[in-house]
Amino acid sequence: MKKILLIFFISLVSFSSNAQEKKSKNAKHNIEVNGNCELCKKRIEKAAFSVPGVKSATWNPDEKVLHLIVNEEKTTDLEVQKAVAKVGHDTKEVKATDEAYKNLHSCCSYERN
């Protein structure tokens, strides 16, 4: 009888510990994004947040890096890069169209590679 109770107790403890594990769906990504100023910052961050699954988006004008936290079940960093390029800002993997780049304010014009 003691063995049965011991097995039951061990099973109960292991089951409850497994039920409490949470798998993180969120991941951090850093993406290089060309831009110059605070107007660029607002535009880039707004474009990033327009992608479903983006939890956090902060672009640093000095580093020219977009720091992201995304739900990887809902989006990828490539989807965010496409959204950023659509508003006129180049990334390493996705380039903005010439038309989108020309629509940027004059202070936002950066040197394109």
Query: What is the arithmetic mean of pLDDT over 10-37?
Result: 74
Which residue type is seen at 83? A
Whether 56 has a pLDDT exceeding 90, the answer reads yes
pLDDT of residue 97: 97
CA angle, 86 then 91 then 96, to 5°: 35
DSSP secondary structure letters along 61-113: TTTTEEEEEEETTT--HHHHHHHHHHTT--BSS-PPPHHHHHTS-GGG-----
The pLDDT, as a whole number, for residue 113 is: 80
User: Is pLDDT of 55 > 70?
Assistant: yes
Of residues 74 and 2, which shows the higher confidence score?
74
Residue with the two structure tokens 């079940």:
73
The full set of domains in the chain, from first to last, is 26-108 (3.30.70.100)
Percent of the chain with pLDDT over 90: 76
Cα angle 86, 92, 95; round to 5: 30
Say yes or no to pLDDT of 18 above 60: no
* pLDDT at position 19 over 90: no
| Prediction pTM value | 0.78
